[in-house]
Structure 1
Amino acid sequence: MNSLNPNVTAADAAEKQKVWEADRDHFMHPWTDFSTFKETGSMVFTAADGVSIVDADGKRYLDGIGGLWCVNIGYGRKEIAEAVADQICAIPYFSTFGHHTTPPAAKLAAKLADLAPGDLNHVFYGCGGSVANDTAVRLIHFYFNQLGKPTKKQIISRIDGYHGSTYMAMSITGVKFDHVGFDIDQQLVHHISCPNPYRRDPKLSEEEFCRQKVDELEQKILEIGPDKVAAFFAEPILGAGGVIVPPKGYHQATLEVCRKYDVLYVSDEVVTAFGRLGHMFASQDEFGIVPDIITCAKGLTSGYLPLGATIFSDRIYEVISKPQADGAIFTHGFTYSGHPVSCAAALKNIEILEREGVCDHVKDVGTYFEQRIRELGELELVGDVRGRKFMMCLENVADKRTKALLDPRAKVGNRIADACQKRGLIVRPLAHMNILSPTLILTREHVDFIAETLRESILEVTETLREEGFLSH
């Protein structure tokens, strides 16, 4: 995993430097840390295959974060490249506004309707998860307008829930750190607390904690007014907020509350869909619910091309598909809604997932992955190990008994990620946590490498933190 390519030449090094400088000077990155970026710049990756990525120096790394929760079938799949090339040659693009379509857009919509639970039979395309959630809001508002309920507009989501970075999606997002310095819509969106069992009051059982969180949702609806609350947004497992798995029965109970007050339930499956938990969609198969809307992206194309989808029920479609006035049309959409090349990539990706039994593979090897990562919970620094299958998180603490966090200046998540990278493994740092969301084609040998590398890295960082006074002796 850690070898350097001896064929990297001086010309290669010069090209790398040129790319590094161009990136530093001109590419504004998502989530840039300006305290270091202008000096350190970006790590340049030039190749990838299977479960691995290769940097500009020829060093190979096992990708423990799957690109960004998304490269589900792994890198370098020629079938995807061929499907994309064939579609580009056939028809690379045409507007889907009004009454135009292309075969990939139509076929993919039918396939998603077939895979989605219940009566979620209708698909609206965008170019990613943020847009899928923005579309959900617009559909919901339009739906209640059509029903003659124009005051029913308010949105509820959770603290530490993540739903995207467009203005509306970031307003729904409850990760407070992501709001620093930016504006959000605080009139339309309301947040209830995170259903994180690890951080619950120790006096509460997990069942009592679950009831408390469900009651909080109901009380928030009553506080705002049922005639004003339109929707509840919930990831099945909160992803970028720290891989929070809500207590057993939480989703079913919150759905019941939403049904009671005619609040639409949006299941944000941008991360959890297309195999990450061993199912094409996790809402029903993993958590026992059929929501009103599912939003998805990422694993829809395994990251090969941008695409997102908002999948919604017959109940919603029957209302919004009626003209609201003479000559009026449904005026929502994007230039690239249903882009045929992206849809062709998604169709081939889903074909591969099904043909190769990736969901069954995840249930098998993902269970082993979960087991090996949970073993790290015995380490002094690791307070909690949580998640399911190929979606895991380590929460690092100063004291396992009190669950107290380390001084933020310790940058423990970054240190562990750097130590892993040195050993040929990419993991994601998130404040005091480290997140794992690898490609779904890992073997048990890959899992062992990840677990052993993490163990070595955490032990190394533990000693360094102790030497620097961040941990007691």
Structure 2
Amino acid sequence: MTHVSPQMPLHGANSIAARDIASVLHPYTNHAAHRRNGPLVISRGEGVRVFDDSGKAYIEGVAGLWCAALGFSNERLVQAAADQMRRLPFYHGFTSKGHEPQVELAERLLEKAPVPMSKVFFANSGSEANDTVVKMVWYLNNALGRPAKKKIISRIKAYHGVTVAAASLTGLPYNHKFFDLPIDRILHTMTPHHWREAMPGETEEAFATRCAEELDALIQREGPDTVAAFIAEPFMGAGGVIIPPRTYFEKIQAVLRKHDVLMVADEVIAGFGRTGNYWGSQTFGIQPDILTCAKALSSSYLPISAVMVNERVYDALSSGSDSIGTWGHGFTYSGHPVAAAVAVETLKIYDEMDIVPHVQAVGRRLQAGLARFRDHPLVGEVRGVGLVGAVELSQDAETRKSFDPARKMAARAVALTEQEGVILRALPSDSIAFSPPLIITDAEVDEMLAGFGRALDRLAEEVAREPAPAV
């Protein structure tokens, strides 16, 4: 494993790590720390594992960025890309142009949609997909003669991307600070995290009612004629793998229908089997007007995302485009034929491996294994669904007291887990995420959790040696 500093010996000046420090501006990185410590250089992948430049193997416990659903060495996806590169390496979809991979992928997505959908728009990332949603919502309300109905409500701790509009939808401070975000017409309501946010004795159902009442009050304060859409992940991913309380979406959607507010489901992480259903919307009873997806759409072998819209939304976009002369939105690479061909092959593989029953089976192994950490002295809550979960560290589980953020407990746990040959991800509120490739086996789940368990015990030993925090 290569971790270097800018003062590394001259003989290492041409290493990948040194060249990385000298040339790459990494996403989501503390660059001062990066200059001191250097990168973890990943050289190759095989199944659920990746290997660093020294040959050390790691189980990739978050599938990269929640996305390499088929692991890191699927030859069918490689072949699908190569075949399409030879046949038609690029074409666009502007001004009524089309090609077969784009059409086949759209048809397959519409066939699999959790509710009836009308059309599919393609982009290149979850951020672009959710940015597109903002423009769609504004555009359709202008087309419908409702120019004031433009506000979009998201949630605190939500994650919807990093473009200007998508980062505004995101409800995490580090996506806003220094970026002058969020932009106007983007609002945030409370986080539906029962363990962290519920009042003493408040049941999940009562807490869900309070969440819905807060949303209703927000819409009433802003004016229902100004609120256009509500966007939500079926479970909140980067905000901490927060699973909604029972009855949450049922009650939220009743509020949206009351005020004629569109429901947007961000399935960028949840889609394609992750929750134990093909869509997170099916797991949690969501009936979206608009649905976005990405990541597992192509197992992230190539960048592609999609926005599905129902007939009501499509009709408004269509009439607006007829009035203006075009729907003036799209990307050069929208529906790129190579990315679309890989995505088609990905969906075929999901069907062949019967992805939903497989995730349900191996997901039970993951959830049972995670549950064993509930009694660990550093653990406050364990939560999850399907093949995704989180362990939240806490100084006192009974009182839900958090560790001082300066102690960076989750980041330390993740660093120690990496030493044990497992890559996980630290999230807000000292949560640690698990979201392995969907192809993971029971034995590999056990190996992943064993590595984490050893790291957690090592962290507990470190904490025991540290001075007691000031009262």
TM over 0.5: yes
Task: Give the whole-Å Cα distance in 2 for the aligned partners of 1:14 and 1:444.
Answer: 43
The correspondence for 2:244, drawn from 243, 246, 250, is 246
Asked if the contact 2:143–2:320 (Cα under 8 Å) also holds between the matched residues in 1, the reply is: no
Match of 2:6 in 1: none
The correspondence for 2:163, drawn from 161, 166, 177, is 166
Cα–Cα, structure 1 residues 239 and 14, in superposed 2: closer, same or farther, change >3 Å?
A: farther
Matches within 5 A, 1:198-237: 198-199=195-196, 200-237=198-235
SS of structure 2 residue aligned to 1:286 = helix
Q: Which stretch of structure 1 is more off in the superposition, 166-175 or 427-436?
A: 427-436
The letter of the residue matching 1:171 is S
Task: Give the whole-Å Cα distance in 2 for the aligned partners of 1:418 and 1:452.
Answer: 15
The superposition leaves residues 285-305 of structure 1 with CA deviations (integer Å, 9 ceiling, x where unpaired) of 211221101111001011100
Asked if the contact 1:218–1:257 (Cα under 8 Å) also holds between the matched residues in 2, the reply is: yes
Residue 399 of structure 2 corresponds to residue 402 of structure 1: yes
Match of 1:256 in 2: 254
The correspondence for 1:94, drawn from 91, 94, 97, is 91
The correspondence for 1:126, drawn from 119, 123, 126, is 123
Q: CA deviation at 1:177?
A: 3.0
Match of 2:266 in 1: 268
Q: CA deviation at 1:186?
A: 4.2
Q: CA deviation at 1:319?
A: 2.0
The letter of the residue matching 2:271 is A
Q: CA deviation at 1:21?
A: 1.6
Task: Give the whole-Å Cα distance in 2 for the aligned partners of 1:452 and 1:325.
Answer: 59
Match of 1:31 in 2: 28
Task: Give the whole-Å Cα distance in 2 for the aligned partners of 1:151 and 1:409.
Answer: 43
Matches within 5 A, 1:49-448: 49-199=46-196, 200-283=198-281, 285-323=282-320, 328-431=325-428, 432-448=430-446
SS of structure 1 residue aligned to 2:338 = helix
Q: CA deviation at 1:327?
A: 6.2
User: Which consecutive unaligned segments of at least 5 residues does structure 2 have?
Assistant: 2-9
Asked if the contact 1:105–1:340 (Cα under 8 Å) also holds between the matched residues in 2, the reply is: yes
Asked if the contact 1:114–1:121 (Cα under 8 Å) also holds between the matched residues in 2, the reply is: no
Q: CA deviation at 1:358?
A: 2.1
Aligned length: 460
Task: Give the whole-Å Cα distance in 2 for the aligned partners of 1:427 and 1:102.
Answer: 39
Q: CA deviation at 1:366?
A: 0.7
The letter of the residue matching 2:258 is K
The superposition leaves residues 85-105 of structure 1 with CA deviations (integer Å, 9 ceiling, x where unpaired) of 000000011121011111000
Task: Give the whole-Å Cα distance in 1 for the aligned partners of 2:437 and 2:183.
Answer: 36
Cα–Cα, structure 1 residues 139 and 67, in superposed 2: closer, same or farther, change >3 Å?
A: same
Asked if the contact 2:153–2:231 (Cα under 8 Å) also holds between the matched residues in 1, the reply is: yes
Cα–Cα, structure 1 residues 470 and 306, in superposed 2: closer, same or farther, change >3 Å?
A: farther
State the identity %. 36
Q: CA deviation at 1:39?
A: 1.1
The superposition leaves residues 198-240 of structure 1 with CA deviations (integer Å, 9 ceiling, x where unpaired) of 1111232221111000001111111111100010010000000
Q: CA deviation at 1:108?
A: 0.3
**Aligned-residue CA RMSD in angstroms?**
1.7
Q: CA deviation at 1:409?
A: 2.4
Asked if the contact 1:163–1:173 (Cα under 8 Å) also holds between the matched residues in 2, the reply is: yes
Task: Give the whole-Å Cα distance in 1 for the aligned partners of 2:132 and 2:324.
Answer: 23
The superposition leaves residues 107-164 of structure 1 with CA deviations (integer Å, 9 ceiling, x where unpaired) of 1001101100222131011000000001111111111111110110001010001000
Asked if the contact 2:70–2:299 (Cα under 8 Å) also holds between the matched residues in 1, the reply is: yes
The letter of the residue matching 1:229 is V
SS of structure 2 residue aligned to 1:334 = coil
The letter of the residue matching 2:79 is E
Task: Give the whole-Å Cα distance in 2 for the aligned partners of 1:348 and 1:315.
Answer: 30
SS of structure 2 residue aligned to 1:120 = coil
User: Which consecutive unaligned segments of at least 5 residues does structure 1 have?
Assistant: 5-12
Task: Give the whole-Å Cα distance in 2 for the aligned partners of 1:194 and 1:418.
Answer: 28
Asked if the contact 2:370–2:449 (Cα under 8 Å) also holds between the matched residues in 1, the reply is: yes
Task: Give the whole-Å Cα distance in 2 for the aligned partners of 1:125 and 1:366.
Answer: 30
Q: CA deviation at 1:18?
A: 2.3
The letter of the residue matching 1:137 is V
Task: Give the whole-Å Cα distance in 1 for the aligned partners of 2:98 and 2:316.
Answer: 23
Task: Give the whole-Å Cα distance in 2 for the aligned partners of 1:434 and 1:338.
Answer: 34
The letter of the residue matching 1:113 is L
Point out 4+ residue stretches in structure 1 off by more than 4 angstroms.
Answer: 13-17, 323-327
Asked if the contact 2:229–2:263 (Cα under 8 Å) also holds between the matched residues in 1, the reply is: yes
Q: CA deviation at 1:359?
A: 1.8
Asked if the contact 2:77–2:345 (Cα under 8 Å) also holds between the matched residues in 1, the reply is: yes
Asked if the contact 2:157–2:236 (Cα under 8 Å) also holds between the matched residues in 1, the reply is: yes
Match of 1:8 in 2: none
SS of structure 2 residue aligned to 1:231 = strand
Task: Give the whole-Å Cα distance in 1 for the aligned partners of 2:271 and 2:18.
Answer: 37
How does the TM-score come out when normalised to structure 2?
Answer: 0.95
Asked if the contact 1:159–1:176 (Cα under 8 Å) also holds between the matched residues in 2, the reply is: no
